Amino acid sequence: MTQVLHFDMATASEDPLQEEFRKNLGKIITARTYEIYEDGCRQFGTTDLVVMINATGPEDTVEQALVFTRDNLLKDTTFPANLRERVSGPARIKGLSFDTQTFWAIVLWRKQVAALAVGFQMMSPGGSA
């Protein structure tokens, strides 16, 4: 099975660094991210999760990825309020089919932080998603 990846990142900024971030998302959020999400689903017994990714390594490599239940993250007052607000509702991406697994990802990248909905859709060999 192949995984098809979808992103939904709302941004108010059009600066060049944001555009570069968008271009690098495919290197930062990979099938391994989905495996981490699935492991979290089994561990926490829910699909309502946030995957936090530290992509501050050399050449934007992922240094660490952690999984939190969205509910626990929202209750954590030490977590930045703007990010808690961004992930306050379930992760959704308009126009995707019902079989897409969608979750929140918070990515630390080059001194920036972005919250985005990530969707993985399973595709059978020779099929289309």
Q: Where are the domains of the chain?
A: 2-123
Q: Average pLDDT over the chain, rounded to whole?
A: 79
Asked if 115 and 83 count as a contact pair (C-beta separation under 8 A), the reply is: yes
In the chain, the percentage of residues whose pLDDT exceeds 90 is: 25
What confidence tier does 2 reach under pLDDT thresholds 50, 70, 90? very low
Secondary structure (3-state) at 37: helix
